Amino acid sequence: MMKISKIREMSSPELEKELGELKSELFKLKFSLATNGLDNQMKIKEVKKELQELELELEIETELEEYDSESVIIEQILFLVRGI
């Protein structure tokens, strides 16, 4: 299980790569469960939780990037309007 602090340090491409790997792992775990080959069913819950944490962090990072680009545009408009 990855710590939140490590997740927060990751860039968007790293988060997306990790998401892909976890989704693949979750698929394999579910397949193993369906074929009665999974010893530790709690592993599915752990992977789902980590997936949620990564998805949330990616969403926050995306929102921040959008906010930054919007604030730059607003500053440019204010500059033009006010003539500052």
Give DSSP secondary structure letters for 27-41.
HHHHHHHHTT--S-T
Q: What is the CATH number of the domain that holds 60?
A: 1.10.287
Q: Give the predicted TM-score (pTM) of the model.
A: 0.71
Helix (H, G, I), strand (E, B), or coil: what is residue 1? coil
pLDDT bucket at 26, cuts 50 / 70 / 90: very high
Structural domain boundaries, residue 21: 4-82
Q: Dump pLDDT digits (tens) for 29-58.
A: 999 999 988 888 899 999 999 999 999 888
Cα torsion 65, 71, 74, 75 to 10°: value is -130
Mean pLDDT, the chain, integer: 84
Q: What is the number of domains present in the chain?
A: 1
